[in-house]
Structure 1
Amino acid sequence: MRRKAIIIRKSSDGKRCVCVDAENFETILAYAKLHQKKFNHVVGIILNQLRVPDLYDKENINKKAKSVTAMKFFKGRSNDRIYCKEFTQDDKTFTVVAVELFEKKKTQKNSPKTTHIINKISNYEYEIIERNAQ
């Protein structure tokens, strides 16, 4: 399924960018605004190519979903997640699209509901657009 994603931030060298799914843009940005410091920290980790599995990591549930990752907020408390899709664009820009907010993940293992969300996201393809070009 082809969807649109809006760029919210790029790395200084332009080789990496973080976007938000257009259909969930308002919901995700409202959550990001509520938890701005944590959200900006996770985005910085992505743009600077750092590996911090407690904050951002792959959701390896099966081979099909290998491109799905999660931004992890408040692990051990409300355990909110923003599920993301990673891919490289034709111009070689590594792109992370924040696709769906999942609040209050209750279990360490993935429930059938979580597995469904991850599998659904793995099938998405994106057209990337600039923020003011909506």
Structure 2
Amino acid sequence: MPKRKAILISSSSNGRKAIYVDVENAAQILAFLGSKQSYLNKFEIVKDLILERNMPPRDLYDKEDFEKGCEHITAIKLAKGKDNPRIYCQQYTHAEKKVFVIIACELLEKKKSEGLTNKEKQLIRKVAKYDYELED
């Protein structure tokens, strides 16, 4: 499988952490964030908490570790209630760059159940298999 590309969104002030977005899904993810001010605000809060204040609370950003192979998958939770949208991400330490990396990979516009549905598990497994080339 060819490597996917991810482009830099933002880096921490100390240069040790960075958030990227999947190039193939960037337009969809960024358009969705821009569709509601509350989504954009929540994303900015999560981004700041990850990059500058270590880690955000689990109700905003949490692992989606439901089986072996998905340990590095996380979700940015943009809202509670009716729609409950999520951005599924990969997080890992990049060996060459020595930077903790989070890549916004796939958007789930509506999460309807409390647990993970089969469709959501398939999406998480898909994200877990992505291999990235990072572009600053």
Deviations 1:91-114 (A, max 9, x none): 210000000110110001111100
Aligned length: 130
SS of alignment partner, residue 122 of structure 1: helix
What residue in structure 2 maps to residue 129 of structure 1? 135
- RMSD over aligned Cα, in angstroms? 1.1
Q: Deviations over 1:33-59 (max 9, x none)?
A: 232211101111211212410000000
Are residue 36 (structure 1) and residue 40 (structure 2) matched? yes
The runs of 5 or more residues in structure 2 that have no matched partner are none
Unaligned runs of 5+ in 1: none
Cα contact 2:12–2:51 (8 A) shared by 1: yes
Q: Which amino acid aligns with 1:50?
A: M
Q: Which deviates more, 52-61 or 25-34?
A: 25-34
Q: Confirm or deny that 1:10 pairs with 2:1.
A: no
Q: What corresponds to 1:61 in structure 2?
A: 66
TM-score by length of 2: 0.91
**What pairs with 1:71-82 in structure 2 (closer than 5 Å)?**
71-82=76-87
Matched, 1:92 2:98: yes
2:65 aligned partner, one-letter code? N
* C-alpha distance in structure 2 between counterparts of 1:32 and 1:103, whole Å: 10
Q: Could you tell me how far apart the structure 2 residues matched to 1:53 and 1:126 are?
A: 25
SS in 1 for 2:14: coil
Match of 1:105 in 2: 111
Which range is displaced more, 2-11 or 74-83?
A: 74-83
**Deviations 1:101-134, CA, capped at 9 Å, x for gaps:** 101100011111000010111111111102xxxx
Which region of structure 1 is more displaced relative to structure 2, 99-108 or 70-79?
70-79
The percent of aligned pairs where both chains have the same amino acid is 42
